[in-house]
Structure 1
Amino acid sequence: MNPRAVGVVAKRRKLSNPLALTVMVLLAERSMHPYEIAQTLRRRGKEHSVKINFGSLYTVVQNLEKHGYVEVTGVQRQGNRPERTLYGITGAGRHEMVDWLSDLLAVPVAEYPVFETALSLLPVLPPEEVAELMETREAALAVQSAALRGVLGQLGEQLPRIFVVETEYQLHMLDAQLEWIRNFRAEIDNATISGIEEWKSFHETGEVPQDWQDLDEQEIVLDPER
C-alpha cells in the first residue's frame, strides 16, 4: 500500500488548475478585469508560488465563467483605452473557492515531484557520480535559497506576513532539502549508507547483486499505523 494514499482523498473538481482558484480568491476581494488580475498577482509576488501563465489567464477566466463560478459585473472605460470586461465571483464560485482551498490545506495529496522520481531510480548511476550530481544540485539550491531570501525580505517590507507565508514555506522546504542532500552526500562519500557495497558491485561487475534479486521476491507491506 502506498502510504501517501492513506487518509482522506481530495475531491474531484470541474477545474483543477490552481490558477483558477487564485483568480477566484482575487475576485472575492473585488471585481477585476483579467489584466488587473495579472497585475495584482505580479505586485503580490504570486508568480513565486503559483504557476502563472499570463497568456492563458483569459482562458482561465472564461472557464470559470463557463462553470458559473464568475460572472460579468460591468465594463471599465478609461480614456481612449479599449473597454475592459470586469468579472466578479458568484455564490457558486465562492462556495467552490472555500471548499477547494480547504481541501488543499487539509488533505495531503501525492504530487510525485520529479526529484523524488529521480531518487527512486538513482542506483542505475554509480555512487560517486550520484555524489557529484548531488553536489551540483546543492550548489544550485544554495543560490535559489539566497535569492528567495532576498525576495522574501523585499516582500516582507511591502506586504503583511499573511500574504507571504507561502514564500516562507518555500524557503523552509528549500533549506530542508539542502540539509538532506548534504547529509545524503556525506553518507555516500563515507560509504555509510546501507546497500552501498551492492551498489558499487553492480557498477563494477555489471551484474545485479543477489541481494537485489532477492528483494524482488519479497512482498513488502508498509503499515501506516506503525
Structure 2
Amino acid sequence: MAAKRKVNNLLALAVLATVIERPMHRYEIASKMRERGKDRDMDVKWGSLYTVVQNLAKAGFLEVVGNERDGARPERTIYAITDAGRAEMVDWTRELIAQPEPEHYRFTAGLSVVAALPPDEVVELLGQRIEALSRIIEAARRELDEIAATNLPRLFLVEGEYGLAMLEAEAVWARSLRAEIAEGTFPGVDLWRHMHTVGMEPAEVAELIERGMTE
C-alpha cells in the first residue's frame, strides 16, 4: 500500500532528485528538470513548482542555505536537500518501483465508453491512433538512439526504454482489436453494429446484455 506522503506530488520527487546534486534556487531547479525531460517522465505542472518547493521546505525535506542576487533580478532563495529529504526520496522511489498502482489514461476512458460509437467508426479511429503511435514510436526510438550515442549510461535511459515498450505494446494491442472488429471476429460485434443501425436506446441495449443476448 502506498505511503501517505507529506508532499504527495510527483513533482516533489523530481525536485528532490534534482536538488540532491547540489543546492539550487527554483529557477535552476526548473531549468535542470526541463533539460532532463522530467516533464515527459511525470505529470509536471510548472506553475506549481514554487508551492511544491515551499511545501518540501515546510515538511523538512529542503532547507534554505542562502540567497543570491543576479543584477537587477529579485533575490533568489537557494535550497539544499536535508537528510530527511534524502530518506523520503529513496523511500518514495522504492515504493514506485515495487508497488503497482492503478493509473488513469485517456485511452482507457475512451475504451470504457466505446460502445457509444459504431464499430466501423471505431475501426477508422483505431487506424488513426495506430498511425499516430507509429510516428511517436519512431521518434522515441530515434531519441533513445541519439542519447545512447552520447555514451550516457543505460541506467539513465531506462525510463525512456519503458515508455517505448509501453507504446509498442499499446500499438500491438490496438492493431489486434482493430483487426477483430474489422474482420467481424470480435464477440458481439453484430449486436454492436445493429444497435447503431436501428438507433437502439441505451436502456434496450442494457436489457439485452442482462438477458445474455450479446451475440
Give the TM bin, normalised by the shorter chain: 0.7 to 0.9
Check 1:109–1:186 CA distance in 2 against 1; reply closer, same or farther (3 A cut): same
- For the aligned residue pairs, the C-alpha RMSD in angstroms reads 2.1
Instruction: Measure, in 2, the Cα distance between the counterparts of 1:187 and 1:32.
Output: 54
Distance 2:36 2:104 in 1: 28
Gaps of 5+ in 2: none
Which deviates the most, 173-182 or 12-21?
12-21
Other structure's SS at 1:194 match: coil
1:155 and 1:44 map into 2 onto residues whose CA distance is 11
Aligned equivalent of 1:130: 122
CA distance in 1, matches of 2:163, 2:104: 17
Partner of 2:186: 193
Aligned residue in 2 for 1:183: 176
CA contact (8 A) 2:24 2:79 kept: yes
CA offsets 1:184-219 (integer angstroms, 9 cap, x no match): 111111001111122122112333355413259xxx
Higher relative contact order (CA 8 A, sep 6+): 1
Q: 2-side partners of 1:192 and 1:175: how far apart?
A: 23
Could you tell me the TM-score, scaled by structure 1's length? Answer: 0.83
State the distance in 1 between where 2:12 and 2:134 align: 32
- Alignment partner, residue 210 of structure 2: 213
Counterpart AA for 1:46: K
1:33, 1:86 within 8 Å by CA — same for their partners in 2?
Answer: yes
SS of equivalent to 1:29: coil
1:95 matched to which residue of 2?
87
Deviation, 1:80, is: 6.7
**Aligned: 1:144 with 2:136:** yes
Between Structure 1 and Structure 2, how many residues are aligned?
208
Post-superposition Cα deviations, 1:38-92, rounded to whole Å, max 9, x if no partner, equal 2222222323212333343222111111111111122345677654322111122
Query: Which aligned pairs between 1:74-89 and structure 2 lie closer than 5 A?
Result: 74-76=66-68, 83-89=75-81
Contact map agreement 1:45 1:155 (CA 8 A) in 2:
no
Bigger Cα displacement from structure 2, 35-44 vs 191-200: 35-44
Number of the residue aligned with 2:196:
203
CA contact (8 A) 2:14 2:38 kept: no
CA distance in 1, matches of 2:31, 2:70: 16
- Hey, what's the Cα distance between the residues in 1 that align with 2:86 and 2:39? 23
Correspondence for 2:63 among 50, 66, 71 = 71
Unaligned residue ranges in structure 1 (runs of 5+): 1-8, 217-226
Q: Distance in 2 between matches of 1:213 and 1:92?
A: 55
Distance 1:107 1:120 in 2: 25
TM-score, normalising length from structure 2? 0.87
Which residue of structure 2 lines up, in the alignment, with residue 35 of structure 1?
27
Retained in 2: the 8 A contact 1:145–1:171? yes
Please state if 1:156 is matched with 2:148.
yes
CA distance change for structure 1 residues 131 and 154 in 2, over 3 Å: closer, same or farther? same
Q: Secondary structure at the match of 1:100?
A: helix
Alpha-carbon deviation of 1:166? 0.7
